[in-house]
Amino acid sequence: MEKKMTTMIAAVAVVAVVLVAGAFVILNNDDDGTKNAAIASQLQIRGNANDDYTIDGKDLDIVNDVIAGTKTLAEYPLADVNNDGDVNDADVSLLKDLIDRKDGTTVYVVCLDRNGDSTTVQVTYPLRNVVPYGTNMQLPTLYANGGQYVAGYFVSSYDTAEASISSTARNLEGSQRSISDAAWSNFTALDAALDADPSISGGLGAILVDYSGIAQITEKRMGDLNAAGIPMICYESADATAEITTVLTLGFLFGGECETMGVKYAQTAWNLIKEINDKLKDVKDEDKTSYICCTMYIYICGASSSFNTSATTAGGVAYASLNSDFNSTYTKNSTKMTSVEALSKFTDVDVIINNRSMDWGLTAEEIKDLVIDTWDHDNSGKSSTEYFAKFLDKLVYIDNLLPGAVKLAYMAHAMYGDTFSREWADGVLQDYIDMGTLPLNGQTLGTVLAYIDLSTYNDAVKA
């Protein structure tokens, strides 16, 4: 079966979909009166003409109106279902197949290219035999319950969180931050093996990439993908809001119960964001909580880091926007502290949010040990408490493996504890446990270390 090649997005649609990695949403009540959040331009599929979270008859009405001239393509760019720059009967035919969720249908997916620009790639519905690269893409794949469709992975570092990866998936032997030539060779060999299997229609269905790791998809490797007809679906999925988009879109592409999960996952998230916005709407800019984000214990995140954009979505204001010295010093995505005095000039920040990936499925004793190890972590002979000595009452750690909305909830609690209680944030985590997303299957609030602050640390030491 011929695989589809990547094609550039029609210029008319760029303005409407370039916000795929941001938090651009319209929050409405659904037609049935429920208070679910309609997601604007978040299901990144051409044919989603009305920019909500699904493809249905409402989209067909818009496509027909564009053909009739009562609506325009400029107003509804995703009405160009087949990405040919025009809207006609061919779009109607393809859209009907999408509405019917017809197997074998070509789906035109809006995503990012190697340069971070909007593009459209073609995949076959339902999407199968994918290879995700990077934890920030692998977990959204699994949150959509798509682990069963993973044919290979470059690395799996979290035994419990990533346990739903198919047992038949091939370990391609990469790493968290690089794809070696040998690992890439394993990837292309996997595609060839699947392509030669008569029980499988074609080779790999797609490679799924978080944009933070796009440097590993070199121009030569992109040429390999194009030559083999393997589409690349890329999003800035490390950002909490873009992660929601990623889960929703992958859920649709996998189909069936994955689509149902993607919708529940996204609607719960956007309802949470609406709640945060509503409760903070009267907080003046000058009264908002300032934050510095860190990762890997002692790496300070620059203004453009996805950790910073997530904390802004949670209602905070980036310290980089308030202190020009800090902003000019920390310009990279993350910068390692050169000394324990690195933050000494910036003690007026309100909160330091340290993002730490921590697997779950833990006993009470394991959680206690992990709290202490995280807080006291040895960084080449110096404890993290030395680096954050002046900030210990402002420092929190949040588990970076959690669903995007859950991370936002704990960030909101860290910055506005009087408005968003710890119990409230725990309740958001419980909502995601209860909804049935497989990475959290069997977990409880007692087996997931989601949040650490000074009080949590002191309790662990005393235990």
- Is the pLDDT confidence value at 8 over 70? no
Q: What is the pLDDT of residues 292-318, one digit of tens each?
A: 999 999 999 998 898 999 999 999 999
Q: What's the mean pLDDT when you consider all of the chain?
A: 91
Residue 57 identity: G
Q: Would you state the pLDDT for residue 112?
A: 95
Q: Would you state the pLDDT for residue 12?
A: 28
Confidence of residue 35 (pLDDT cuts 50, 70, 90): very low
Q: Would you state the pLDDT for residue 202?
A: 85
pTM of the predicted protein model: 0.91
Mean pLDDT of 220-230: 98
Q: Would you state the pLDDT for residue 31?
A: 41
Confidence of residue 275 (pLDDT cuts 50, 70, 90): very high
Percentage, residues of the chain above pLDDT 70 = 91
In the structure encoding, which two tokens stand for residue 115, read together?
């340069």
Question: How far is 351 from 292, CA to CA, in rounded Å?
Answer: 7
Question: How far is 427 from 190, CA to CA, in rounded Å?
Answer: 42
Q: Bridge-partner residues for 122, per DSSP? A: 108
Mean pLDDT of 267-279: 95
Q: Bridge-partner residues for 295, per DSSP? A: 299, 355
Question: How far is 241 from 235, CA to CA, in rounded Å?
Answer: 11
- Is the pLDDT confidence value at 116 over 80? yes
Q: Would you state the pLDDT for residue 198?
A: 86
- Check the CA dihedral 205-207-209-215 and report its sign: negative
Q: Bridge-partner residues for 382, per DSSP? A: 379
Percentage, residues of the chain above pLDDT 90 = 87
Residues 6+ apart with CB under 8 A from 329: 335
Q: What is the pLDDT of residues 312-357, one digit of tens each?
A: 999 999 999 999 999 999 999 899 999 999 999 999 999 999 999 9
Q: What is the pLDDT of residues 169-216, one digit of tens each?
A: 999 999 988 999 999 999 999 999 999 998 887 899 999 999 999 999
Mean pLDDT of 60-64: 98
Q: How, if at all, do strands 334-336 and 299-301 pair?
A: antiparallel
| Burial letters 418-433, b for 16+ CB under 10 A, else e | eebebeebbebbbbbb
